[in-house]
C-alpha cells in the first residue's frame, strides 16, 4: 500500500490541525471538506479559525498540502483516508454518526470502480461502541469488497484539547489503535509514528476495544472532575479549603493529581456527549 500521500476528511478544528501536523512532519496530505468557502480560504492560505501555531505551520508546510471539496476524486489521490468529522450529540444525548457515514458512503462507492487493489479507512472521529460494524457493512455493500480483502479499517481516535491540538497530536499520553487486522494496524502505526514526538505508547487492540477505550477515557476523566467538585461542596459546608484536600489525594499514585481539583463542572462538546 502506498503511504506517500494520505487523505484527511473534515477540515474543522481538529481535522485541519491534524492535516497540518502531518504536513509539518513531511507527509504529503490531501484535505477534503464539503465547505467550498473554507476550501477556497485554505487555497489562499487563510485559516478560518484560530488555533495556536496552526496558521504558521500551515503556511510553512504548504508544499506538502492539497485541499479539495470533491471527495469523489479521493481514491485517485491516495489509498488511505483519515476521517475526522464532527459526531455531534442528538437531542437525546446520543452520538450522531451522520457525517462519518456520509464520508464513508462517498469513498466506498468510488472504491467499487477503483483500480486500486487495497484501501485503508481510518476513523478518527469519536464514535459509540459497535459503530464499526455498520461502517464495515456500508463499505462492503458499496464497494463489493470484503473486510481485509480489498480494504481495511482502523479506529484511531483523537486525544486532544482545543488550544493545544497540534502539540497534543505530537505529544499524546498514548495512541489508541483499533485494527481490523495486523497488516492494516502496522500501516496505521507507521503513519502515526511520523508525528509522535514523545515516544508515547501505541496501544493496539480490536476495533470494539478501541471504541470502548476512547469513551471510557473521557467518562473516567469526567468522573474525576465531578468527584473533585463533590469534595468542593463538602468543603464549603465545613468552611475549609478543598484544594488542600484534592492536592493530598492527588499524591496517591493510584489517583494522580490530574483533573482532581475543585472548580467548574465539566463542559465542552466531548465530555457531555461521551458520558
Angle formed at CA 210 by CA 103 and CA 90, multiple of 5 degrees: 50
User: Which of these three, 178, 206, 234, is where a domain ends?
Assistant: 206
First to last CA, the chain: 37
Each residue's pLDDT tens digit, 187-230: 999 999 999 999 999 999 999 999 999 999 989 998 999 999 99
Query: Residue 242 maps to which CATH number?
Result: 1.10.1040.10
What does the pLDDT read at residue 42? 97
d(CA 222, CA 234): 18
Same domain assignment for residues 171 and 240? no
Identify the CA nearest to 138 among candidates 107, 162, 117, 113. Answer: 107
Looking at the structure, do residues 260 and 151 belong to the same domain, yes or no? no
Structural domains in the chain (count): 2
- The predicted-structure confidence for 86-110, as pLDDT tens digits, reads as follows 887 777 767 788 899 999 999 999 9
Confidence of residue 273 (pLDDT cuts 50, 70, 90): low
Q: Is residue 211 part of a domain?
A: no
Mean pLDDT computed over 35-57 = 96
Confidence of residue 241 (pLDDT cuts 50, 70, 90): very high
**The predicted structure's pLDDT at residue 268:** 57
Tell me: do 134 and 263 sit in the same domain: no
Contact 190, 156 (CB under 8 A): no
> Would you say residue 181 lies in a domain?
yes
CA dihedral 184, 187, 188, 189 (to 10 degrees): 120
Q: Report d(CA 71, CA 85) in Å as an integer.
A: 13
- 189, burial (CB in 10 Å: exposed 0-12, middle 13-18, buried 19+): middle
Average pLDDT value for residue range 1-8: 94
Amino acid at each position: 500500500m502506498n503511504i506517500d500521500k494520505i487523505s484527511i476528511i473534515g477540515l474543522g478544528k481538529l481535522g485541519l490541525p491534524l492535516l497540518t501536523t502531518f504536513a509539518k512532519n513531511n507527509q504529503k496530505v490531501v484535505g477534503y471538506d464539503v465547505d467550498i468557502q473554507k476550501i477556497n480560504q485554505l487555497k489562499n492560505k487563510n485559516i478560518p479559525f484560530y488555533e495556536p501555531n496552526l496558521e504558521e505551520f500551515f503556511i510553512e508546510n504548504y508544499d506538502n498540502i492539497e485541499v479539495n471539496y470533491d471527495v469523489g476524486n479521493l481514491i485517485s489521490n491516495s489509498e488511505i483516508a483519515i476521517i475526522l468529522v464532527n459526531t455531534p450529540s442528538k437531542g437525546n444525548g446520543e452520538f450522531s454518526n451522520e457525517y462519518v457515514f456520509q464520508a464513508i458512503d462517498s469513498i466506498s462507492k468510488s472504491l467499487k470502480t477503483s483500480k486500486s487493489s487495497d484501501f485503508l479507512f481510518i476513523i478518527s472521529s469519536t464514535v459509540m461502541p459497535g459503530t464499526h460494524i455498520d461502517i464495515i457493512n456500508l463499505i462492503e455493500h458499496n464497494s463489493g469488497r470484503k473486510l481485509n480483502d480489498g480494504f481495511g479499517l482502523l479506529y484511531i481516535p483523537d486525544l486532544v484539547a482545543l488550544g493545544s491540538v497540534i502539540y497534543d497530536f505530537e505529544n499524546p499520553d498514548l495512541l489508541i489503535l483499533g485494527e481490523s487486522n495486523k497488516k492494516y494496524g502496522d500501516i496505521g502505526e507507521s503513519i502515526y509514528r511520523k508525528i509522535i514526538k514523545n515516544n508515547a505508547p501505541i496501544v493496539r487492540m480490536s476495533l470494539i476495544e478501541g471504541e470502548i477505550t476512547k469513551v471510557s477515557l473521557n467518562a473516567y476523566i469526567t468522573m474525576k472532575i465531578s468527584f473533585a467538585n463533590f469534595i468542593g461542596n463538602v468543603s464549603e459546608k465545613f468552611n475549609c479549603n478543598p484544594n488542600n484536600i484534592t492536592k493530598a489525594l492527588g499524591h496517591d499514585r493510584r489517583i494522580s493529581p490530574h483533573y482532581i481539583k475543585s472548580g467548574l463542572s465539566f463542559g465542552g462538546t466531548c465530555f457531555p456527549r461521551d458520558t
